[in-house]
Structure 1
Amino acid sequence: MNHIYIDFIMKKCQELFKEKLKFYDLSWKEIKISSIIDQIFMKVVRIQNIQKRGFQEVKEEKIIDTFIDVINYIVITLIKLNIDFKKKVSHSEVMNIYIQKFDQLKDLYGEHTQNERISIENLLEEILYLKQKETKILYNKLENICLKMLNMTIFLSMINIPKKRN
């Protein structure tokens, strides 16, 4: 994976995130991180099922759309770890952290992927680990796991983009 693809997927994800932020505001700020992890889990299982079947039932939502949802849920988790929502928070503050997390991912790329086999199953293992350890994970470890999951999801989205036929 290269930074050009990270920039491409970040732009796609960011456009959707901004649109939803405009319509729904910070509605997710009250949701517990464990509930967001549940959403990530459901979306990743959907991707896994599509891959196993070789096709998807719902044609309107492409597999890349589901990857984008997973990426945005992971970034929401990272935002929640980095903002004190007891204070007034602006959309621009949220977007700044959103962008910071992708930039941080670019800086960390290589650390997370060199010695790892990345698959949907590996991503599910990380999610299940978070679900098991919900309240026992320290902030830094949770942030590192989320960055690792973000890296894995972006990589998996890249290899799952439908190829154009000539």
Structure 2
Amino acid sequence: MVQTEAQYRQVIELCKEVFQKKNKDYGTAWRILRLPSITDQIFIKAQRIRTLQERGTQRVQEGVVPEFMGIINYCVMALIQLELADSDEMELPAERLTDLYDRQMGRVMELLFAKNHDYGEAWRDMRVSSMTDIILMKLLRTKQIEDNEGKTLISEGVDANYMDMINYAVFCLIKLGIVDSSVPA
């Protein structure tokens, strides 16, 4: 678990760095997006990853790593949108945005540690392609919940699906070797 936590934090720091740089370039223009639009953005990224995995070739040079990072950051945007649902504030100051990002990732990490404890790090024996499929399944579930106006009979809400997608995308990035694998276990 020590290794997982260290690797997880490394991945999140890389994603947060991209998030902050894009915020400097674009501001929080994404605040205009409704939740289903963010879900569709995540879907596009996950579908491209699956297509690249199946075809083994690509025409656009950006590979799967930036796409998984994009999934993480769009899911964080969705969680922030849920938190700020009653706010019309479009432009968020960088410091506040960083606090919101950190708060959402704190929630996601708590979920990870709880599930990782119960599942015994089963993700380490999973294929990246399987986790991609799970992300796509979670997206389809999220779209169905959104189409049902957020109402569920027995299932968790969209926030739980966004958090699970973040965790699977982090696992994929760890398995793809973007972080230091020599962190002591």
TM-score range, shorter chain: 0.7 to 0.9
Q: Corresponding residue for 1:127? A: 139
- In 1, the alpha carbon distance for the partners of 2:103 and 2:150 equals 22
Matched, 1:148 2:167: no
CA offsets 1:49-92 (integer angstroms, 9 cap, x no match):
11112343322x12111111111100000111112432474222
- Going from structure 1 to structure 2, the CA distance change for 1:162 and 1:149 (only over 3 Å counts) comes to closer
Q: Corresponding residue for 2:149? A: 136
> What TM-score does the superposition give when structure 2 sets the normalisation length?
0.77
> What TM-score does the superposition give when structure 1 sets the normalisation length?
0.85
CA contact (8 A) 1:43 1:70 kept: yes
Matched, 1:109 2:137: no
**In structure 2, the residue corresponding to 1:57 is in which secondary structure?**
coil
- In the alignment, structure 1 segments of 5+ residues that lack a partner are none
Q: Corresponding residue for 2:182? A: none
- In 2, the alpha carbon distance for the partners of 1:109 and 1:74 equals 15
Following superposition, the deviation at residue 15 of structure 1 comes to 1.0
Aligned-partner residue type, residue 136 of structure 2? L
- In 2, the alpha carbon distance for the partners of 1:8 and 1:55 equals 28
Q: Corresponding residue for 1:4? A: 6
**In structure 1, the residue corresponding to 2:157 is in which secondary structure?**
helix
- In the alignment, structure 2 segments of 5+ residues that lack a partner are 180-185
CA contact (8 A) 2:65 2:173 kept: yes
After superposition, residues 21-40 of structure 1 pair within 5 angstroms as: 21-40=23-42
Task: Figure out how many residues of one structure are paired with residues of the other and give that number.
Answer: 162
Following superposition, the deviation at residue 11 of structure 1 comes to 1.2
Percent identity between matched residues is 25
Please provide the CA RMSD for this pair.
Answer: 2.5
